[in-house]
Amino acid sequence: MVPRPAAPAPLAVVQTLVNTRELLEHRDDLSTPTGLVAWAESEGLPCPARPAEADLIRMRRFREALRQLLGSAEGVPGAVSVLNGELARTGTRPLLRAGPPAAEFIGDATTPLDTAITRVLAAVVTTSLDGSLRRLKTCAAEDCLWAFYDRSPNAVSRWCETSVCGARHKMRAYRARQAAGRTD
């Protein structure tokens, strides 16, 4: 499903990672080493040539923590704990650059996967500081949870695609009212 235009950089990498799992189609691109390598290559990120099962588990856990973070205005404590754990594990930290005021994020990167995770974390930290992370959301449909970038003026969109997930939600609500004997 590609319901809306992609998020702008640097959020695009976060969005593509979260969307490596599509609930409606029962697809998970990070279920095999080949899928992890393909995602990393498509994003220009380093990845082990032959990811181990532990690498796949780590990336899926990281992805789901990001999904939970995007789906909650307050941030889910367990998700935040996983993300903070990855910040500590990779040694991700800001580094100021000379010249015009600017910063980049670096990590201790003992493995290619650490480097990839550092780059995703850098996007999360940077965009949470400038406020744009709040526009990257997951669809409110519990059977979807697709990550989308909310371009609405007030950042109040709830559905990845109103004509699909929003319409299904409205139809379910309508049917529930009908079943309860209400006609409003």
What tens digit of pLDDT does each residue of 94-125 get? 999 888 877 789 999 789 999 999 999 999 99
Q: What is the pLDDT of residue 103?
A: 79
**pLDDT tens, position by position, 67-100:** 999 998 777 899 999 999 999 999 999 999 888 8
**Torsion angle of the four alpha carbons 162, 140, 84, 31, in this order, in degrees rounded to the nearest 10:** -80
Q: What is the pLDDT of residue 98?
A: 85
Would 39 be classed as within a structural domain? yes
Q: What is the pLDDT of residue 2?
A: 47
Give the N- to C-terminal CA distance of the chain in Å, as an integer. 32
Would 2 be classed as within a structural domain? no
Q: What is the pLDDT of residue 97?
A: 84
Would 3 be classed as within a structural domain? no
Would 4 be classed as within a structural domain? no
Stated pTM of the model:
0.89
Give the closest residue to 31 by CA, choosing from 65, 57, 49, 61.
57
55 φ/ψ angles, rounded to the nearest 5 degrees: -65, -45
Q: What is the pLDDT of residue 166?
A: 65
**pLDDT tens, position by position, 142-169:** 999 999 999 999 999 999 887 668 666 5
Would 5 be classed as within a structural domain? no
In single-letter form, the type of residue at position 126 comes to: T
Question: DSSP secondary-structure letter at 160?
Answer: S
**pLDDT tens, position by position, 44-54:** 999 999 999 99
- For residue 46, the enclosing domain spans 11-179
Q: What is the pLDDT of residue 171?
A: 67
Whether 132 shows a pLDDT value over 70: the answer reads yes
Would 42 be classed as within a structural domain? yes
Q: What is the CATH number of the domain that holds 45?
A: 1.10.3300.10
Beta strands in the chain (DSSP E): 21-22, 27-28, 93-97, 102-106, 136-138, 147-149
Would 1 be classed as within a structural domain? no
Would 100 be classed as within a structural domain? yes
Which comes out higher in pLDDT, residue 164 or 135? 135
User: How far apart, in whole angstroms, are the C-alpha atoms of residue 158 and residue 150?
Assistant: 8
User: How far apart, in whole angstroms, are the C-alpha atoms of residue 94 and residue 28?
Assistant: 32
Q: What is the pLDDT of residue 40?
A: 98
Structural domain total, the chain = 1
Whether 173 shows a pLDDT value over 70: the answer reads no
User: How far apart, in whole angstroms, are the C-alpha atoms of residue 172 and residue 64?
Assistant: 27
Whether 56 shows a pLDDT value over 90: the answer reads yes
In single-letter form, the type of residue at position 169 comes to: H
